[in-house]
């Protein structure tokens, strides 16, 4: 069943179908989630069938999110007093996107050929570890996804695009020499898109977006029920932008899409969706979660959540944003009639329960317990809200975005079940908050966004080297018969130098290396041990 709200939208759906067919997707199945990522940045939907596609548990049919999409907006900084604001903004909104797959050509700021860039790149950690271990073997052939990794632009795009580990430090991606994609997680999907100015989008910022969507095949519930996203926004325009906002538009739909509640947890930088009643569904044609439904949240991991906002699907002054200014205002917690979100009621100033006080966050109270002054879907200071199909936009003020600069956003989508099965709709919110705290801690400890380090053989002492540590005035002589060359690596795995046997030995002078710790790889007809060398 499609979530078609009116005839106009139905027509839009049909007419846009041809457009989407140009944007390809791949399935991302990692941890407990089965979802989709499109080449132009659209997320979590089966747009070909207008169906929610954030399936969790992954072998079920139930989906927790209908779709999500990023927004970015700001004002051109002309530095001329009294000059009216020149607002620029691009967004992914339901089925419509201002972004097209591919990078921006730097010379004329047009989008690169979208048919060439109509790809997503999926790489697993297993593939990379196999590559690290085998790239030097004659009978190893580099997998296609590593060969095709979009490390470098062409046709006037930036030279360096997708991140990679560059073993020899020459800024050239050479998988045949052991270079590999710098992915996060156990499985990652990468895309590149842009909003370069086109006739039908005069408000484009000329921004290039690099996205990585990733997850973990971990037995830990906190990781297997979470999808992470890294987004990099690069200003390829001729302008400096100010008052820049990043927004993430989320249509949380836990199973049945017509009984949502939403909320904000400002201490966790999280917006979340939960079921409006203790039983999700049933609704014909839509798989639902039933009794004791789960909850879903989106955390901003590396930025402060500065605003959260919604709009009414059938509202007037508080209805769907339409023009660029409406979308920008939405990221600042304003409705399209320009009125600010108010604390209480449903947030619209005309609603019952709404106070005079401006609010930057939608339903920031904790729905898991009652507090007289805490605003939630059920504690509106009037009658409780009725559950319905909610969308919630989570925003962060980025401020300045000078030309040629960029900013990065790290996000996590966290799913939590009601493990007590106690037939409430809020137990899963308690569990969501606990899981989200753990995810943030893991992120802060560097365990989430760490990349795969080049691995060198285990250090043992078959062929020790002397002196070690090495001090000023000393040199190392390696004169083992069966060792014909050595490679010196930094502790991060970057090749510093390679030396061949000259006569009967290999010599490394103290003066060749700066103070620090290195890995010496000993090579002959076979690979020997690697030694950790301390240079004093
Ligand atoms: Ca290289
Ligand atoms: Ca539901
Ligand atoms: Ca919804």
Residue 524, pLDDT score: 75
Question: Is pLDDT at 9 greater than 60 in this prediction?
Answer: no
User: In the structure, what pLDDT confidence band is assigned to residue 526 with cuts at 50, 70 and 90?
Assistant: low
Question: Is pLDDT at 411 greater than 50 in this prediction?
Answer: yes
Summarize the confidence of residues 62-70 as an average pLDDT: 98
pLDDT (tens digit per residue) in 214-227: 999 988 878 999 99
Q: Which residues contact 296 (CB under 8 A, 6 or more apart)?
A: 64, 65, 252, 254, 272, 273, 274, 413, 414, 415, 416, 432
Q: Ligand 1 centroid vs 453 CA: distance in angstroms?
A: 15
Summarize the confidence of residues 432-442 as an average pLDDT: 96
Q: Ligand 2 centroid vs 355 CA: distance in angstroms?
A: 29
Q: Ligand 3 centroid vs 177 CA: distance in angstroms?
A: 48
Residue 118, pLDDT score: 94
Question: Is pLDDT at 8 greater than 90 in this prediction?
Answer: no
Residue 267, pLDDT score: 98
Helix (H) or strand (E) holding 133: helix 125-134
Q: What tokens appear for 214 in the block? A: 């990733």
On whether the 475-535 domain is CATH 2.40.160, my answer is no
Q: Counting Cβ atoms within 10 Å, is residue 482 exposed (0-12), middle (13-18) or buried (19+)? A: exposed
Question: Is pLDDT at 528 greater than 80 in this prediction?
Answer: no
Residue 315, pLDDT score: 82
Residue 18, pLDDT score: 44
Q: Ligand 3 centroid vs 394 CA: distance in angstroms?
A: 14
Summarize the confidence of residues 472-498 as an average pLDDT: 85
Domain ranges of the chain: 7-132+160-444, 475-535
pLDDT-wise least confident of 51-65, 208-222, 293-307: 208-222
Specify the higher pLDDT residue, 494 or 486: 486
Residue 462, pLDDT score: 66
Summarize the confidence of residues 359-381 as an average pLDDT: 97
User: In the structure, what pLDDT confidence band is assigned to residue 454 with cuts at 50, 70 and 90?
Assistant: low
Residue 14, pLDDT score: 44
Residue 492, pLDDT score: 75
Residue 6, pLDDT score: 43
Q: Ligand 2 centroid vs 47 CA: distance in angstroms?
A: 20
Q: Ligand 2 centroid vs 261 CA: distance in angstroms?
A: 8
pLDDT (tens digit per residue) in 88-141: 999 999 888 999 999 999 988 999 998 899 999 999 999 999 999 899 899 999
pLDDT-wise least confident of 17-31, 400-414, 453-467: 453-467
Summarize the confidence of residues 358-382 as an average pLDDT: 97
Specify the higher pLDDT residue, 366 or 495: 366
Cis status of the peptide bond prior to 282, with omega within 30 of 0: yes
Ligand nearest the Cα of residue 151 is: 1
Ligand nearest the Cα of residue 388 is: 3
Q: Ligand 3 centroid vs 524 CA: distance in angstroms?
A: 62
Residue 449, pLDDT score: 77
* Euclidean distance between CA atoms 441 and 292, whole angstroms: 27
Residue 11, pLDDT score: 43
Q: Ligand 2 centroid vs 426 CA: distance in angstroms?
A: 13
Residue 152, pLDDT score: 97
Smallest CA-to-CA distance from 263 within 303, 298, 234 is with 298
Q: Ligand 2 centroid vs 422 CA: distance in angstroms?
A: 17
Residue 199, pLDDT score: 67
Ligand nearest the Cα of residue 44 is: 3
Smallest CA-to-CA distance from 176 within 206, 141, 203, 127 is with 141
Q: Ligand 1 centroid vs 156 CA: distance in angstroms?
A: 21
Q: Ligand 2 centroid vs 69 CA: distance in angstroms?
A: 20
Specify the higher pLDDT residue, 20 or 312: 312
Q: Ligand 3 centroid vs 437 CA: distance in angstroms?
A: 24
Q: Ligand 3 centroid vs 390 CA: distance in angstroms?
A: 4
pLDDT-wise least confident of 55-69, 288-302, 318-332, 517-531: 517-531
Ligand nearest the Cα of residue 310 is: 3
Residue 15, pLDDT score: 42
Ligand 1 ion: Cβ-proximal residues, 5 Å cutoff: 166, 168, 170, 172, 174, 179
Instruction: Annotate 7-68 with DSSP letters as a single string.
Output: HHHHHHHHHHHHHHTTS-EEEEEETTEEEEEETTS-BSEETTTTEE-EESSTTSS-BSEEEE
pLDDT (tens digit per residue) in 227-264: 999 999 999 999 999 999 999 999 999 999 999 999 99
Summarize the confidence of residues 25-31 as an average pLDDT: 95
Q: Ligand 3 centroid vs 205 CA: distance in angstroms?
A: 28
Q: Counting Cβ atoms within 10 Å, is residue 102 exposed (0-12), middle (13-18) or buried (19+)? A: buried
Q: Ligand 1 centroid vs 175 CA: distance in angstroms?
A: 8
Ligand nearest the Cα of residue 390 is: 3
């Amino acid at each position: 069943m499609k979530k078609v709200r009116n005839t106009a939208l139905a027509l839009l759906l049909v007419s846009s179908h041809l457009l989407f067919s140009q944007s390809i997707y791949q399935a991302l199945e990692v941890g407990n989630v089965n979802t989709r990522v499109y080449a132009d940045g659209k997320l979590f939907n089966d747009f070909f069938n207008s169906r929610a596609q954030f399936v969790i548990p992954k072998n079920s049919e139930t989906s927790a999110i209908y779709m999500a999409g990023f927004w970015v907006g700001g004002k051109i900084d002309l530095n001329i007093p009294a000059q009216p604001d020149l607002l620029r903004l691009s967004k992914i909104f339901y089925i419509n996107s201002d972004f097209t797959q591919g990078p921006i050509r730097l010379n004329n700021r047009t989008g690169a050929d979208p048919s060439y860039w109509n790809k997503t790149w999926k790489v697993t950690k297993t593939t990379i570890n196999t590559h690290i271990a085998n790239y030097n073997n004659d009978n190893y052939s580099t997998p296609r996804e590593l060969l095709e990794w979009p490390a470098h632009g062409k046709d006037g795009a930036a030279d360096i695009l997708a991140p990679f580990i560059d073993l020899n430090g020459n800024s050239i991606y050479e998988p045949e020499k052991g270079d590999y994609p710098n992915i996060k997680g156990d499985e990652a999907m990468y895309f590149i898109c842009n909003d370069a100015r086109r006739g039908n989008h005069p408000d484009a910022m000329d921004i290039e977006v690099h996205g990585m969507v990733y997850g973990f095949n971990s037995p830990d519930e906190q990781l297997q029920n979470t999808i992470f996203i890294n987004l990099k926004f690069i200003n390829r325009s001729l302008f400096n932008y100010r008052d820049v906002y990043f927004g993430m538009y989320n249509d949380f739909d836990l199973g049945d899409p017509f009984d949502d509640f939403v909320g904000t947890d400002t201490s966790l930088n999280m917006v979340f969706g939960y079921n409006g009643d203790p039983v999700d569904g049933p609704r014909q044609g839509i798989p639902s979660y039933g009794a004791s439904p789960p909850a879903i949240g989106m955390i901003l991991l590396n930025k402060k959540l500065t605003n959260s906002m919604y709009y009414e699907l059938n509202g007037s002054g508080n209805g769907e944003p339409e023009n660029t200014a409406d979308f920008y205002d939405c990221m600042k917690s304003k409705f399209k009639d320009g009125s600010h979100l108010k604390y209480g009621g449903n947030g619209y100033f005309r609603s019952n329960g709404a106070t005079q006080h401006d609010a930057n966050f939608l339903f920031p109270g904790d729905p898991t317990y009652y507090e007289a002054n805490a605003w939630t879907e059920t504690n509106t200071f009037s009658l409780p809200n009725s559950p319905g199909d909610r969308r919630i936009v989570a925003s962060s003020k980025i401020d300045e975005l000078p030309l040629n600069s960029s900013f990065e956003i790290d996000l996590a989508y966290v799913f939590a079940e009601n493990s007590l099965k106690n037939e409430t709709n809020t137990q899963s919110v308690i569990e969501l908050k606990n899981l989200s705290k753990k995810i943030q801690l893991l992120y802060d400890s560097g365990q989430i966004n760490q990349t795969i380090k080049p691995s060198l053989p285990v250090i043992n002492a078959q062929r020790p080297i002397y002196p070690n540590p090495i001090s000023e005035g000393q040199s190392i002589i390696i004169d083992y018969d069966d060792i014909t060359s050595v490679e010196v690596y930094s502790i991060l795995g970057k090749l510093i130098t390679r030396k061949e046997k000259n006569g009967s030995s290999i010599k490394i002078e103290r003066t060749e290396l700066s103070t620090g710790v290195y890995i010496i790889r000993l090579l002959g007809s076979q690979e020997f041990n690697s030694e950790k060398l301390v240079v004093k």
